[in-house]
Amino acid sequence: MKATVITYGCQMNEYDTHLVESQLVSLGADLVQGVDEADFVLVNTCAVRGKPVDKVRSLLGTLRKIKAQRPLVVGMMGCLAQLEEGQQMARKFEVDVLLGPGSLLDIGQALESNERFWGLQFKDELHEHIPPAPTGKLQAHLTIMRGCDHHCTYCIVPTTRGPQVSRSPDDILRELDLQLAAGVQEVTLLGQNVNAYGVDQGARLAGYPSFADLLRLVGRSGVRRIKFTTSHPMNFTEDVAAAMAETPAVCEFVHLPVQSGSNHVLRRMAREYTREKYLQHIAEIRRHLPHAVLATDIIVGFPGETEEDFQDTLSLYDEVGYDSAYMFIYSPRPGTPSYKHFADLPRELKTERLQRLIARQKEWSARKNAEKVGSVQEVLLRGDAHDAGFLEGHTRGNHPTVVPKAIGASQAGVYPVRIEHATPHMMYGRILDASGEPLPEQPRLNPEAAAVTSPLQMA
């Protein structure tokens, strides 16, 4: 069997894709890149916003047409599969295999079945399964928990992924050992709310460390770089910031979603903290990490948001000074309290506010990135950029970075890079040698074309 998995959504979905792909390989399947080559196409779905749902709907329509022309098994997994909306979609588009986020290990049973297979249970054994480490990659994701015990009024995650279940520290460290043995240098700890690790359904689990102590444990493993996502401000503690400062491997990058700068909107979202409490967390982070790189999530146009509420969000930007942000207009999702109880705002109003927010974030990103010009950053270079004469990667602070390939450093790896130019969305620099001087660039096949397309000049 030739199989391919098409993934939408978050890093948790990327991790789940790797888990399922490893299962498919163990069953004897060959993984292929495109639908045209595949006998089995599995779509890993996201249900957090309307746009990825629309993409899945369009793809399933295309796959149904292909099924009418040749033998093809179509599967659907992920958050959307757990919802009635997704199950209706699966019936409409003649999906053969339906797997919820807790049933990914049932893929073998599903493919052996001669009839439609729908596995949608939440299963604890998923947490005990340790997938093989990714091969040939310097980065890896490592799930430390699944599900969420919060009930934000806009969020479908508690419905699709169930209540929070923390993974045992022994399983986490065993998987990390496999990743390090495979050459991984940067690991990102994943969870719907990593700060609540070890406290499931309000109860502290015996023998489980706090998230801060888990960071310290992982930091002693020998891994070079540690990141984590996502954090909920309600569960953030100053000890997390202290653990970051005490553990050299933990990158000075904090993604702390605020969603709104207005207390009125935060109450309607059921976020369980205030603007003032959130800013207290920012102060704690900066007390321990003065040069922390801060990112956030913002939902614009939540039901009931007034212009005054939106101005509170803009003023929060000026008070915090975020390096980057994920910004979305509110997308009503069936099955959430906000969908059921709140009237949506006009789309044109939400779009106009989003454009103003993007402009504000662009100002801050430009200012923050400009401060890095002239500095030396540790950059993990993943491989070729769009122009083959360049490598792309990211700093410890998660800044996208592009450098020319250099003699002696033309492959993926972690290198010191002096930043020479920055835009709101990208930094450009050159790889340095041990003495701090730029390494000589590799010659290009077409120097004139390279001169035109060089990001250092285009920027």
Instruction: Tell me what percent of the chain is helix, strand and coil, each rounded to the nearest 5.
Output: 40, 25, 35
94 lies in the same domain as 143: no
The angle that helices 238-246 and 211-219 make with each other, rounded to 10 degrees, is 10
99 lies in the same domain as 226: no
For residues 387 and 32, which has the higher predicted lDDT (pLDDT)? Answer: 32
pLDDT of residue 451: 41
Helix ranges (DSSP H) in 129-273: 157-161, 169-181, 211-219, 238-246, 263-269
Quick one: average pLDDT of 147-170? 93
46 is in an annotated binding site: yes
Would you say residue 423 has pLDDT above 60? yes
Would you say residue 338 has pLDDT above 90? yes
Question: Domain with 266 in it: what CATH number?
Answer: 3.80.30.20
pLDDT of residue 215: 98
342 lies in the same domain as 388: no
Three state DSSP letters for 106-147: HHHHHHHCCCCEEECCCCCHHHHCCCCCCCCCCEEEEECEEC
217 lies in the same domain as 344: yes
318 lies in the same domain as 410: no
Quick one: average pLDDT of 156-172? 93
Both tokens assigned to 14? 């990327």
**Picking from 266-270, 401-405, 438-442, 450-454, which range would have the lowest pLDDT averaged per residue?**
450-454
Distance from C-alpha of 326 to C-alpha of 311, rounded to nearest angstrom: 18
Boundary-marking domain end, from 96, 119, 142 = 119
137 lies in the same domain as 110: no
251 is in an annotated binding site: no
**Picking from 118-127, 230-239, 372-381, which range would have the lowest pLDDT averaged per residue?**
118-127
177 lies in the same domain as 248: yes
Number of domains in the chain: 3
DSSP states of 275-298 as a string?
HHHHHHHHHHHHHH-TT-EEEEEE
pLDDT level of residue 127 (50, 70, 90 thresholds): confident
Distance from C-alpha of 179 to C-alpha of 138, rounded to nearest angstrom: 9
Quick one: average pLDDT of 414-427? 96
Both tokens assigned to 75? 């599967």
Question: Domain with 421 in it: what CATH number?
Answer: 2.40.50
pLDDT of residue 118: 85
Q: Which domain holds residue 137?
A: 127-367
Q: What percent of the chain has pLDDT over 90?
A: 81
Quick one: average pLDDT of 23-52? 92
346 lies in the same domain as 391: no
Q: Tell me whether residue 266 is exposed, middle or buried, using C-beta atoms within 10 angstroms of its C-beta: 0 to 12, 13 to 18, 19 or more.
A: buried
pLDDT level of residue 409 (50, 70, 90 thresholds): confident
pLDDT of residue 445: 53
Would you say residue 455 has pLDDT above 80? no
DSSP states of 71-115 as a string?
--EEEEEEGGGGSHHHHHHHHHTT-SEEE-TT-GGGHHHHHH-SS
pLDDT of residue 458: 37
Find all residues with CB under 8 Å of 294, minimum gap 6, and list them.
Answer: 254, 256, 282, 285, 320, 321, 322, 323
Would you say residue 373 has pLDDT above 90? yes
CA-nearest of 11, 82, 79, 2 to 41 is: 2
| CB distance 197 to 147 below 8 Å | no
333 lies in the same domain as 402: no
368: left (phi over 0), alpha (psi -120 to 50) or beta: alpha
| CB distance 201 to 190 below 8 Å | no
**Picking from 42-46, 87-91, 106-110, 164-168, which range would have the lowest pLDDT averaged per residue?**
106-110
pLDDT of residue 349: 98
Distance from C-alpha of 23 to C-alpha of 295, rounded to nearest angstrom: 34
337 lies in the same domain as 314: yes
152 is in an annotated binding site: yes
79 is in an annotated binding site: yes
- Residue 200, classed as helix, strand or coil, is strand
Cα torsion at 146, 152, 155, 161 (round to 10°)?
A: 20
Alpha-carbon 271 to chain mean position: 20
Boundary-marking domain end, from 314, 347, 367 = 367
pLDDT of residue 450: 42
Both tokens assigned to 249? 């491997």
CB atoms within 10 A of CB 454: 17
144 lies in the same domain as 87: no
337 lies in the same domain as 255: yes
Question: Domain with 91 in it: what CATH number?
Answer: 3.40.50.12160
Boundary-marking domain end, from 367, 393, 412 = 367
For the ranges 10-14, 32-36, 84-88, 426-430, the one whose mean pLDDT is highest: 426-430
Would you say residue 164 has pLDDT above 90? yes
